[in-house]
Amino acid sequence: MGVTGPLGSIASAATLLGLPLIGIHGDLLWRLVLGLGAIIPGSVIYLRRKVPESPRYLVRIKGDMKRYQEVVKQVTNNDLTVAANAVDKTPVLFYLRKYAKYIAIAGILWFLDHMVNPGGVFEPALVGESIGVKNTAIFSLVLTLAASIPGGAVSLLLIDKWGRKPLEAVGFAGMAISLVLFAAVKPQLTLSNPITPIVGMLLLGGYHFWHNVGPANVSAAGVFNVELTPTRIRGIASGIVVAIDRMGALVNSAIFPFLFFNFGLPVAVGAGGALGIIAAIVTLLVVPETKQKSLEESSYEDMWFNVENSL
């Protein structure tokens, strides 16, 4: 996702801040902001129809060698041929059994990414206002420009040099430290204190920076579920991982407000920080490194290619 994901946050915040300048207020304001958001998914639907099919899908699944050659020629301007027996007929259930561990790892890390989040959709309102930043658009705009985009840029520079695993682990650790520090410092910061918004935004900025250095552009960008599973089940695996991820978002949206209103902001944010440490440890212990490897190498696809298995 790099720096492109945060651009949506910038566009939304800028729209929310800009529309009142041309006289749009009240219910019409939020309705327009929400409605204009439909432009993005609408453009995605249109543009994805223009994107050529994956060459690996054309060869391994569909067996359309002619279309494969056309796509490769279109993208690389090279003529390539493949063996006639390149279609993978290995049973899907065989692959799902063999790769269940990696699908679970990818899903759990994305789930934890949501759980470490300080409030998710509630962050601008609950966390922002607690440090004296009442304008949610400004809160989002500052964090995105000052932290999310720089973090994404660092990730883009290092992901193929350091690797996915260290970036994911360092990112989770940085997120955790930022949130634990926020939880520790927040009780000493009052709304009457002029430095409260500055200190609060710096610590939250640390979370967003490290989030985009690591998980936002590794596990939450689908890197692990794509690179650790073979072509025949890559789409299925990604669907399972995204479903687990959505459950994380759902759980966080329920648990964070509960902790916030019953135990206070430091506890709610500190709990996320603790989970960040757990996520960093899980990454270091169980995630294989896939940097600078082809999808066939990282997923060991050729090892199981066309394995006969009675199920």
Tokens standing for 32?
């327009």
Distance CA 57, CA 67 (A): 11
pLDDT score recorded for residue 88? 86
Which DSSP category does 54 fall into?
P
Residues with Cβ within 8 Å of residue 228, at least 6 apart in sequence: 99, 102, 103, 105, 106, 288, 290, 298, 299
Entry pTM:
0.89
> Strand, coil or helix: what is 273?
helix
Using one digit for the tens of pLDDT, what is the confidence trace for 251-297? 999 999 999 999 999 999 999 999 999 999 999 999 999 999 999 89
Rounded distance, CA 97 to CA 78, Å? 37
Q: Is residue 306 over pLDDT 80? A: no
pLDDT tens-place string over residues 177-211: 999 999 999 999 888 899 999 999 999 999 999 99
**Residue 91 phi, psi dihedral angles, 5° rounding:** -60, 140
In whole angstroms, give the CA distance from residue 109 to residue 88: 29
CATH topology of domain 90-302: Growth Hormone; Chain: A; (1.20.1250)
Per residue in 78-120, pLDDT tens?
A: 777 776 667 888 899 999 999 999 999 999 999 999 999 998 8
Q: CA quadruple 1, 134, 33, 272: dihedral positive or negative?
A: positive
Query: Could you tell me where in the chain the CATH 1.20.1250.20 domains are found?
Result: 90-302
Which are the contacts of 32, defined by CB distance < 8 A and separation ≥ 6?
15, 19, 24
CB neighbour class for 39 (10 Å; exposed up to 12, middle 13-18, buried from 19): exposed
Task: For residues 241 and 190, give the distance between their C-alpha atoms in angstroms, rounded to a whole number.
Answer: 41
